[in-house]
């Protein structure tokens, strides 16, 4: 939770409905014109999204590199791995082409050989060149600069034929001797939102890079070489430069040497091809072998014989070694004993062999580079970070800073141990091996970690290689990954900016004064708390029970209609987030999370089609899925749809955290009939509790429902619970009860549950009968959902009667309302920073210290009237939900809305220590119209547990007492130094600073900077194979 505080009682705000509309991307209206922007969003109206870590902009969202998944690819703590974000089974081919007239021969060769290259690159040599279509899409980024005019040509398509047609339509033009190649390499990987990780990037040019700068190991310089390097590290792209430089070109100048440097730093290639035949050979005999290329050995500037143990996946797998040398070198490249020559050019040689336990490099005549690689789907992701609390990082080591490292493996057999050591690019050892261990945090994307590297100052500045060994019984598997040691002189332990000192922090959280209606500290976050709005994220949790298969088939068939109910996208914005989690009794998996509805629909159907089922779950991991869903809640409020079979009677226990449900997530449980269970409310106790404490629903389904669209239509937009009653005996006599319908609600849904539900009658507050059959949207023998246009009826207290053929029944009424309500808990009546949960459950004291309950009520501007509110607290017996006991009724007092976001508050209340309590807020206007009726459930676990608090210290009220430099309800949010950004509880440091709170300053020599000029875009062409040509009068196009 991010807490924004404004100190002093002189701050006033007045927010109109227009202010809410004018702030974009989750911005908070401070007044009628100003917006407070969330992390990584800027602009007067919060209209500018700033993608972090080289995320690719996509409308108002960001496509993130592997491991970095949230709205803007920001820093975060551990989250369960999002398998969709980590999926590397499909990859992109990106062509970066310098469209000078002098490149005509290369373009024609690319046109005539691209299809053959693609056909070959999809062939697995280890399976007799069996084809596998792993290419997701094709991208083209063409560029040419002449004087001050720059032309950019872009194309994206998923069709090879369309891409070939596009290549055939290209026109070249005259250009300068030097070209902005690095900017093109960078922009090509930052332009297309459907870019996959591990892309094959082919760069064609015959020109030096005009935007190259002298080689610098200080990443503070932020030159384009370093930006390209960082993109490659994060996106794991494989960049190959196919260069047609004129004879006599000085390869030592930065504009040419930068190709060698980038190839060395990223473990890529730079290949010389001066004519059509050489380009053809590179495409059809070298690039064509890049079927899931996995590097197992690299070296640059090597001058001696050496050997590599490639550790192939299987005995007869092919092992490839590509040699290169500097342009102009006359000597022959080395040999590999027992290998076959695949291709040879002026500065390269490719050899390969099978059953090669050792690659012995011999016949060395001069300095050479080598890259030994396999065709393998067994890969890994490795990152450095300065803070072990952060889930993922990048490939950069800051010299003088203690660096942690983390890793995630894919496809490898289970290993006994894992290690990595570090070498320089020339194979010289930098640091001995560190052994891996499981990270102490739960649900980390990168689940393995290593001891911190303390003496990083010993690393020579420049490219490094991590050598990874996965150890088995008597043998190992190996991989190498690129890294870089970033040159920093030393660091200063001085604090950057101002951290809230203890005295001030005590003022913020412990300030107490006489009773007043104003607030000295305003809770800005509460102004547009997401709980005041309709749901923004929709999470499907699917139990893999075989009895659920027919329901999932229906879901898959209708998922497009269901998703479209949420109005997920506009021309400029992706409005929603969609997530899929599946579980059985062995594992719970986050399959993917997507903001693009088309991507979600496609992936959802694919998963359902491939989902494996079991006939019986001994003890399901449903509670783990519930914990994971909360960690995936990146665009609250979330609605969760948890599907379970009635035959699943028990859930496996996880740590205590499962019963602390965030207030910004709602769990709805769909129980699927097993043909045996007769108890309609059959749901494991723990799940029943989660449903209640999150204000969720219970929905009973038959095993063969043919449609679910109308059911979801009655669920997805309803945001106000006004009635929630049940009776354990509805078959002997009709169950007659009150239902509450607010005035001015946009829609009202009555939902009934009961075995053999029947004889439903509804009358409005005036006694007018409501048609049940004509308003029924979804029903089966045990469930009925009735959607009523309540504007045609009299609001207020309605009468409902229902019977069942056996057992009990339940009635809930929910409405779509523009009036939002949230509750909190504080120890004094002038505090606006509140607890979202009842804190007394954490108090070790036997006394119940009275507390206040601040309430924020937000009405539409045109409906705002002075209201009188009553709050009733009921005690709920979890063994008999149908028999709540009224505990206390209290009036609600107004607070100064110019200083308090929570504009109402109760008198002091002694909150009962009961497992479940319901809080019912009711208000009538002067004409006795029911204006507001809301029910909120709260759960308190016992005995008292302080472990949820960071530091495990609480005051007498049960409120967490935070360690120094921490804040938030549970004290996990860091108080970041000035200039840093709080992102999911972690401080994201501004340039030049690091540390848990970004309080440490990195000191380095003055660095030169490159002036970056914005790019202007004009689009033409079709939606499928879009071609855009951008012409503008600028000297450069870096950003």
Higher-pLDDT residue of 878 and 1035 is 878
pLDDT tier, 1038 (very low <50, low <70, confident <90, very high otherwise): very low
What's residue 879's pLDDT?
Answer: 79
d(CA 340, CA 365): 19
- With contact defined as beta carbons under 8 Å apart, do 990 and 968 qualify? no
Q: Which CATH superfamily is domain 535-716 in?
A: von Willebrand factor, type A domain (3.40.50.410)
- CATH 1.20.1250.20 describes domain 379-488: no
pLDDT tops 70 at residue 493: no
How many other C-beta atoms can be found within 10 angstroms of the C-beta atom of residue 309?
Answer: 16
Residue 874 has pLDDT above 70, yes or no: yes
Angle (nearest 5°) at CA 229 between 225 and 233: 175
Terminal CA-CA length for the chain: 33
CB atoms within 10 A of CB 20: 19
What pLDDT score does 847 carry?
82
Name the more confident of 498 and 382: 382
User: What is the number of other CB atoms lying within 10 angstroms of the CB of residue 773?
Assistant: 9
Q: In 10 A of CB 112, how many CB atoms?
A: 15
Residue 7 has pLDDT above 50, yes or no: no
Residues 6+ apart with CB under 8 A from 956: 843, 845, 847, 849
Q: Is the pLDDT of residue 1009 over 80?
A: no
The C-alpha atoms of residue 213 and residue 255 are separated, in whole angstroms, by 7
Res. 676 pLDDT band, cuts 50 70 90: confident
pLDDT at position 1001 is 83
Q: For residue 880, how many other CB atoms are within 10 A of its CB?
A: 10
Peptide bond between residue 84 and the one before it cis (omega within 30 degrees of 0): no
pLDDT band (50, 70, 90) for residue 1032: very low
Question: pLDDT averaged over the chain?
Answer: 89
Q: What is the pLDDT of residue 506?
A: 33
Q: What is the mean pLDDT of residues 98-120?
A: 98
pLDDT at 375: 98
Task: Answer whether residue 374 shows pLDDT above 90.
Answer: yes
Region label for 968, one of left (φ > 0), alpha (ψ between -120 and 50) or beta (otherwise): left
pLDDT tens digits along 910-962: 999 999 999 999 999 888 889 999 999 999 988 888 988 999 999 999 999 99
Is the CB of residue 836 less than 8 Å from the CB of residue 824? yes
- b/e burial code for range 658-673 (CB count within 10 A of at least 16 → b): bbbbbbbbbbbbbbbb
Given CA atoms 956, 944, 856, 904 in this order, what sign does their dihedral have?
Answer: negative
pLDDT at 491 over 60: no
Rounded to an integer, the average pLDDT of 475-482 is 96
Listing from the earlier edge strand, what are the strands of the sheet with 588-594? 588-594, 577-583, 537-543, 638-645, 665-672, 698-701
Q: Which pLDDT score, from 0 to 100, does residue 503 have?
A: 34
CA distance 782 to 762: 18
Tokens of 807: 């057992």
Asked if 427 contacts 302 with a C-beta cutoff of 8 angstroms, the reply is yes
Detail the DSSP E strand segments found in 111-268.
123-124, 130-131, 135-146, 149-157, 200-205, 238-243
- Counting residues of the chain whose pLDDT is more than 70, the rounded percentage is 91
pLDDT tens sequence across 257-302: 999 999 999 999 999 998 999 999 999 999 999 999 999 999 999 9
Beta bridge partners of 935: 920
Residue scoring higher pLDDT (532 or 266) = 266
Rounded Cα gap, residues 95 and 90, in angstroms: 17
The whole-number average pLDDT for the span 1013-1034 is: 33
CATH architecture of residue range(s) 723-816 = Sandwich (2.60)
CA geometry: angle 12, 865, 10, nearest 5 deg: 10
pLDDT recorded at residue 646: 94
Model confidence band, residue 1006 (pLDDT cutoffs 50, 70, 90): very low
Residue-wise pLDDT for 649-666, tens only, equals 999 998 767 788 999 999
What pLDDT shows up at residue 861?
Answer: 63
Closest alpha carbon to 79 in 518, 634, 517: 634
Q: What is the pLDDT of residue 510?
A: 34
- Rg of the chain in Å (alpha carbons): 32
How high is the pLDDT of residue 931? 92
What pLDDT shows up at residue 865?
Answer: 58
Q: Is 926 exposed, middle or buried (0-12, 13-18, 19+ CB in 10 A)?
A: exposed
**Residue 501's pLDDT is what?**
36
Q: Does 576 have pLDDT greater than 90?
A: yes
User: Count of H helices and E strands in the chain?
Assistant: 14, 64
The pLDDT tens digits for 700-718 are: 999 999 999 999 999 999 9
| 550-572: average pLDDT | 97
Under 8 Å CB-to-CB from 1033, ≥6 apart: which residues?
148, 149
Confidence (pLDDT) at 975: 95
Q: Are 288 and 120 in contact (CB under 8 A)?
A: yes
What pLDDT score was predicted for residue 1004?
56
The predicted structure's pLDDT at residue 6: 37
Q: In the structure, what pLDDT confidence band is assigned to residue 243 with cuts at 50, 70 and 90?
A: very high
What pLDDT, on the 0 to 100 scale, is given for residue 675?
78
Does pLDDT of 1030 surpass 80?
no
**Residue 393: pLDDT band by 50, 70, 90 thresholds?**
very high
Which residues partner with 380 through β-bridges? 409
Residue 942 burial (10 A CB sphere; 0-12, 13-18, 19+) = exposed
Distance CA(756)–CA(742), nearest Å, equals 29
pLDDT band at 1011 (very low <50, low <70, confident <90, very high): very low
Note whether 588 and 625 are within 8 A (CB): yes
Inform me whether the pLDDT recorded for 515 exceeds 70. no
Q: Report helix, strand or coil for 919.
A: strand
Q: Tell me the per-residue pLDDT of 729-751, one tens digit each, with 9 for 90 and over.
A: 999 999 999 999 999 888 999 99
Buried/exposed 201-239: b ≥16 CB within 10 Å, e otherwise: bbbbbbbbbbbbbeebbbbbbbbbbbbbbbbbbbbbbbb
pLDDT of residue 862: 53
What pLDDT is stored for residue 5 in this prediction?
Answer: 40
Closest CA to 829 of 900, 922, 910: 900
Please tell me the number of Cα atoms within 13 Å of 719 on its side-chain side: 21
Do residues 977 and 997 make contact, with C-beta atoms less than 8 angstroms apart?
A: yes
Residue 896 pLDDT greater than 80, yes or no: yes
Exposure pattern of 1016-1039 as b/e (b: 16+ CB <10 Å)?
eeeeeeeeebebeebebeeebbbe
Read out DSSP for 1005-1038?
---------------EE-SSSEEEEEEEE-S---
| pLDDT category of residue 863 using cuts at 50, 70 and 90 | low
Per the CB < 8 A criterion, the answer to whether 1022 and 162 are in contact is no
Contact between 840 and 849 (Cβ < 8 Å): yes
- Kind of pairing, strands 238-243 and 200-205? parallel
Residue 114 in contact with residue 623, Cβ under 8 Å? no
Q: Please give the pLDDT value at position 864.
A: 56
Q: Work out whether the CA dihedral 108, 112, 115, 117 comes out positive or negative.
A: negative
**Contact assessment for residue 831 and residue 519, using Cβ atoms and an 8 Å cutoff:** yes
Is 367 within 8 Å of 334 (Cβ atoms)? no
Looking at residues 568-578, what average pLDDT do you find?
96
Which neighbouring-strand residues pair with 137? 92
Confidence of residue 866 (pLDDT cuts 50, 70, 90): low
Q: Identify the CATH number of the domain defined by range 88-291+1021-1039.
A: 3.40.50.410
* Average pLDDT, integer, range 14-42: 77
Using alpha carbons, list the distances in angstroms from residue 31 to 28, 831, 833, 895. Answer: 9, 21, 19, 18
Residues 6+ apart with CB under 8 A from 877: 883, 884, 885, 916
Confidence class for position 328, pLDDT limits 50, 70, 90: confident
Section 871-898 average pLDDT: 90
515 compared with 116, residue with greater pLDDT: 116
């Amino acid at each position: 939770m991010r807490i924004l505080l404004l100190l002093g009682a002189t701050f006033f705000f007045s927010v109109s409905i227009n202010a809410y509309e004018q702030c974009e991307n989750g911005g908070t209206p401070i007044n009628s014109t100003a917006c407070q922007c969330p992390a990584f969003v800027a602009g007067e109206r919060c209209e500018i999204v700033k993608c972090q870590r080289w995320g690719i902009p996509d409308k108002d969202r960001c496509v993130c590199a592997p491991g970095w998944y949230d709205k803007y690819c920001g820093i975060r703590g551990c989250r369960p791995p999002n398998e969709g974000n980590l999926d590397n089974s499909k990859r992109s081919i990106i062509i970066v082409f310098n469209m000078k007239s002098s490149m005509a021969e290369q373009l024609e060769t690319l046109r005539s050989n691209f299809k053959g290259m693609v056909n070959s690159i999809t062939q697995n040599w280890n399976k007799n060149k069996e084809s596998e279509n792993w290419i997701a899409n094709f991208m083209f980024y063409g560029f040419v600069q002449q004087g001050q005019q720059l032309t950019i040509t872009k194309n994206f398509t998923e069709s090879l034929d369309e891409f070939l047609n596009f290549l055939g339509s290209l026109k070249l033009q005259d250009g300068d001797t030097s070209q902005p190649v690095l900017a093109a390499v960078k922009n090509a990987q930052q332009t297309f939102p459907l870019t996959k990780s591990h892309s094959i990037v082919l760069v064609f040019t015959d020109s030096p890079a005009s935007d190259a700068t002298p080689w610098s190991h200080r990443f503070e310089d932020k030159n384009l070489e370093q930006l390209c390097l960082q993109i490659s590290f994060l996106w794991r792209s494989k960049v190959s430069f196919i260069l047609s430089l004129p004879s006599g070109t000085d390869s030592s100048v930065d504009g040419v040497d930068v190709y060698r440097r980038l190839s060395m730093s990223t473990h890529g290639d730079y290949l010389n091809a001066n004519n059509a035949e050489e380009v053809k050979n590179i495409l059809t005999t070298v690039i064509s072998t890049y079927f899931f290329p996995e590097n197992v050995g690299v070296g640059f500037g090597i001058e001696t014989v050496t050997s590599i143990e490639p550790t192939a996946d299987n005995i007869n797998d092919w092992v490839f070694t590509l040699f290169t040398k500097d342009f102009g070198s006359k000597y022959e490249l080395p040999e590999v004993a027992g290998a076959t020559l695949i291709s040879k050019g002026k500065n390269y040689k490719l050899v390969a062999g099978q059953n090669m336990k050792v690659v012995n490099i011999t016949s060395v005549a001069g300095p050479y580079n080598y890259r030994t690689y396999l065709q393998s789907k067994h890969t890994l992701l490795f990152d450095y970070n300065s803070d072990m609390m952060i889930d993922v990082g990048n490939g950069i080591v800051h010299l003088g800073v203690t660096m942690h490292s983390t890793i995630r493996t894919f496809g490898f057999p289970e290993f006994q141990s894992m290690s990595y050591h570090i070498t320089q690019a020339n194979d010289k050892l930098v640091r001995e091996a560190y052994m891996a261990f499981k990270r102490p945090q739960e649900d980390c994307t990168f689940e393995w970690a290593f001891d911190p590297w303390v003496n990083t100052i010993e690393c020579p500045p420049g490219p490094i290689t991590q050598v990874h060994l996965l150890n088995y019984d008597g043998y190992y598997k190996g991989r190498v990954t690129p890294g870089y040691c970033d040159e920093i002189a030393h660091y200063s332990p001085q604090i950057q900016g101002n951290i809230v000192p203890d005295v001030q922090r005590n003022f913020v959280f412990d300030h107490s004064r006489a009773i007043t209606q104003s607030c000295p500290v305003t809770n800005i976050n509460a102004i547009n708390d997401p709980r005041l709005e309709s749901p923004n994220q929709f999470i499907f949790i699917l139990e893999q029970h075989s009895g659920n298969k027919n329901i999932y088939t229906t879901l898959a068939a209708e998922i497009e209609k269901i998703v479209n109910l949420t109005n997920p996208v506009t021309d400029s914005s992706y409005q929603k987030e969609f997530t899929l989690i599946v579980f059985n009794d062995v594992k719970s998996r986050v399959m993917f999370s997507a903001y693009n509805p088309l991507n979600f629909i496609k992936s959802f159907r694919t998963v359902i089609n491939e989902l494996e089922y079991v006939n019986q779950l001994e003890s399901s991991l449903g509670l783990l899925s519930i914990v994971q869903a909360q960690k995936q809640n990146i665009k609250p409020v979330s609605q969760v749809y948890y599907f379970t079979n009635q035959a699943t009677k028990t859930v496996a226990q996880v740590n205590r955290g499962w019963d602390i449900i965030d207030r910004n997530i709602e769990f709805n449980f769909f129980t699927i009939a097993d043909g045996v269970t007769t108890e309609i409310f059959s749901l494991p106790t723990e799940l029943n509790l989660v449903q209640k404490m999150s204000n969720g629903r219970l929905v009973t389904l038959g095993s063969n429902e043919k449609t679910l669209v109308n059911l979801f239509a009655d669920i997805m937009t309803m945001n106000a619970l006004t009635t929630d009653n049940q009776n354990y005996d509805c078959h002997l006599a009709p169950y007659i009860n009150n239902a509450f319908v607010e005035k001015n609600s946009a829609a009202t849904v009555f939902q009934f549950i009961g075995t053999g539900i029947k004889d439903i009658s509804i009358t409005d507050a005036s006694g007018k009968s409501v048609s049940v059959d004509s308003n029924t949207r979804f029903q089966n023998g045990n469930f009925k959902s009735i959607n009523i246009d309540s504007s045609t009826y009299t609001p207020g207290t309605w009468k409902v009667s229902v019977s069942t053929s056996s057992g009990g029944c339940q009635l809930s009424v929910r409405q779509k309302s523009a009036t939002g309500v949230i509750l909190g808990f504080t120890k004094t009546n002038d505090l606006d920073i509140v607890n979202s949960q009842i804190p007394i459950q954490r108090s070790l004291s036997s006394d119940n210290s009275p507390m206040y309950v601040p309430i924020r009520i937000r009405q539409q501007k045109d409906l705002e009237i002075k209201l009188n509110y009553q709050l009733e607290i009921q005690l709920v017996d979890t063994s008999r939900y149908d028999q709540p006991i009224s505990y206390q009724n209290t009036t609600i007092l107004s607070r100064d809305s110019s200083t308090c976001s929570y504009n109402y508050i109760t008198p002091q209340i002694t909150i009962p220590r009961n497992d479940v309590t319901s809080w019912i807020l009711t208000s009538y206007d002067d004409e006795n119209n029911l204006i507001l009726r809301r029910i909120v459930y709260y759960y308190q676990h016992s005995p008292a547990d302080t472990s949820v608090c960071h530091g495990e210290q609480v005051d007498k009220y049960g409120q967490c007492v935070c360690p120094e430099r921490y804040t938030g309800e549970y004290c996990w949010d860091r108080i970041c130094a000035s200039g840093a950004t709080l992102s999911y509880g972690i401080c994201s440091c501004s340039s030049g600073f690091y540390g848990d709170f970004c309080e440490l300053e990195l000191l380095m020599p003055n660095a030169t900077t490159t002036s970056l000029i914005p790019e202007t875009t004009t689009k033409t062409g079709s939606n499928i194979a879009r071609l855009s040509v951008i012409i503008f009068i600028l000297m450069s196009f870096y950003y």
